[in-house]
Structure 1
Amino acid sequence: MGRLWRREFWRLATLVAAGVLVGWPFAAIPTGIAAALLLCLAFHLRQLHALYQWLTQRAQEEPPAASGLWGELFDRLYRYQKSQRLTQQRLRSTLLRIQESSEAMRDSVVMLDRHGALEWWNSAAEQMLGFKPHQDRGQHITNLMRDPRFVDYFHGRDYREPLTLPSPIDDSRILQFQITLYGVDERLVMARDITRLHRLEQMRRDFVANVSHELRTPLTVLAGYLETYSDMADQLPPRLSRGLSQMQAQTDRMQNLVNDLLLLSRLEIDQGGRDDGPLDMAALLEAVRRDAAALSDGRHVITVECEDPRALVGSEQEIRSALSNLAFNAVRYAGEGRHIVLRWRLRGDGACLEVQDDGEGIDPVHLPRLTERFYRVDKGRSTETGGTGLGLAIVKHVLLRHDARLQIDSRPGRGATFRCVFPAGRLREIQSAQRA
């Protein structure tokens, strides 16, 4: 490129020298130079006009013929245009493949701009969500998806968990929505049809609830007769007395299991909120402490710490059930002579209810599965302590109904802390709570 510029410079110098030579005999050197410069300007204007015509009218054709610097410029622009066209073709091909693959998906795919307006969606979204190609493009998604739960989910910007809702055009279809942020605050909305899974889950809940309910009557009859026979234990042979005590223990365990299953079924089916009210956390902690102390029978040191004066808005029966399950688990599994603390304390984003012990602790490999039904870290020890394996599942569902989450911190030999974290919206000052 430097060689071309030098050539243009010498061409201009030669032209000016020619103008000087032509004007010299007539004593008009400035005029000769001006004429030479005008000739040079006319040449460059002609080349510039050719460039403009090519770029605006014949960009797909070969560039105009030119030499020197202009020829190099035409060639570079032409190569750049060709590379840009190839890049655009590749991008169009990629976009077409993405759209074709999205069209082939059974799940709805909706692309939103940074304002939340609809940019593109596949045919599944038309079937599931009722979007119309020629009417809804550019509409804000909350103008079409007006369910308050979806609106709160969309504006909440917390998309870690999916949202389950009925289809806006067919209440019999259950959809699971998941929103992903990408680009400059743009969103990708995906919706899956989980109607079949929802019905299977409903059948499972109904089955568990019905079977548990049906088991209550025979268990009550069996427990009644066993209690009667226990009163006559002195009249029975020793061999039968031992069998009678084992049957009583297993009957009590079965009754506890049925009661926990019924409670879980109610928590899953009932939407909750009807019996919510401000709870005196100090009194609640003390009541649970007394129950845990009775279960411990002096084998543990159980204390209460109430650091947050605010009241928690929720169901007293459910919160007490969750706290009792955590406290009873600590009594059963921490080990004798351990210290157990029931604590209600302030937290940056709300407040939390904690059950902490300095017992044997839990291997972190088990923590993700602790809230699964019937999951046991040590099956043999759990059977001996009389646990049903449903306590933490009950805690999880109670917290979900109270907009809270469960955190578990534990290491082998360092004890365990079970933390129920409640949002600030669930807290009330104790004065206003008492007036309410």
Structure 2
Amino acid sequence: MKKNDCLLIIIAILLCSCSNKYSIKIDEIQVATPFEMPNIKIPDFSNCKKISIVDFGAVKGDKNKISSAIENAINKANKLGGGIVVVPEGEWLTKKIHLKSNVNLHLNKGAVLLFSENPEDYLPSVHTTWEGMECYNYSPLIYAYKCKNIAITGQGKIKAKMDIWKKWFVRSKGHKKNLKILYNLSSNNSPVEERQMVNDSAHFRPQFIQFNRCENILLEGITILNSPFWTIHPYMSKHIVIRDVNVWAKGNNNDGVDPEMSQNILIENCVFDQGDDAIAVKSGRNQDAWRLNTPTKNLVIRNCMVKNGHQLLAIGSELSGGIENVYMNNCQVVDGAKLNHLVYIKTNERRGGYVKNIYVSNIKAGRIDKGILGIDMDVLYQWRNLVPTYERKLTPIGRIYLEDIKATDVKFISKIIEQEELPVNTVVLKRIQCDTIQGNVYIKENVSN
């Protein structure tokens, strides 16, 4: 080998070494499930540089400087090929945050990211969703679009100021008018770019955190306080771990986690104190979901606690892309929590999709307002008379397994109401223990096997 050739090889090795100085490793998590599930891939930032937002000009109390510093720190971490953007102790008022690939947003203990209540701070509009329909709307407070290897970690808090958002909880005439507009655009498969839903009356509240078309995601350790809408929303994403997260959000539609058309997800060791469903598994609405054709699949929820919420585990009603392989194990609903069901599967004649392979085991609860299991084929809420059924598609539901469930006081064990032309197929209940059952133990219409 010539001397020049050796020199070129050495230079190449050095360049490669420099380029990987802050490289991200990928960890793989193996999860035991009743179904076949691939390992979940998440980013490891232990080898990455820490970048403080203070070094980029963040000054407490100055929203513009803080927002600019966070943006510039994220850009720097992204350009390095891997970086940890550090939010130090103290309260930091900010506008929207848009993550980029290979970035870990880390909140130190005592840090509070306080998100502005001004809707103008979440413009320009971004490609997002509203209740299962794609559109352009206000940016989620923390938003990642087509990113890879991203994380939000630490012992700090993220908090939404609710001054304006809580006024938008009411479904006003203007809001309902815009719901109809979006529904019709979606039903006609209009281009998403034409679905601009920011105006003076739509009041479509943004999600707090949305991972949109992302992969290799870690959300760990943080506390989330308040939310304009759904709290944590993985959408069209895959390989997601949500771990040791504490959620407190008591407004309208404040689900804890809404995995939607996403795959390979682990939610563990979390605490939910909600104004709506704790875990709400979704898969898009009607024509949009049929077009995207991406089921929610391979979801594990374990060792979680619910202090309040409508349901411990809700499936639907936006499930038109299909939902399969969901495993919830070893979760607790605290005594005194207000809860409608432990497991509630909801759909209607417009949805299509399917639900199969749902496993729930080792659950402890106190009093439940309704029952252990509810399956309802006719859940339409405000949409029943607001818009017509353009295309009728029923939802096949089957292979639902519940075992080792304990509760103190319920109205029923299970209530299953399905369409006569498409019965629910195979529901297995084993070792269900309730101290008091106020009504009929089993209520069922159109169930086979």
TM-score normalised by L of structure 2: 0.24
Query: Which of the pair is proportionally richer in strand?
Result: 2
TM-score normalised by L of structure 1: 0.24
Query: Which of the pair is proportionally richer in helix?
Result: 1
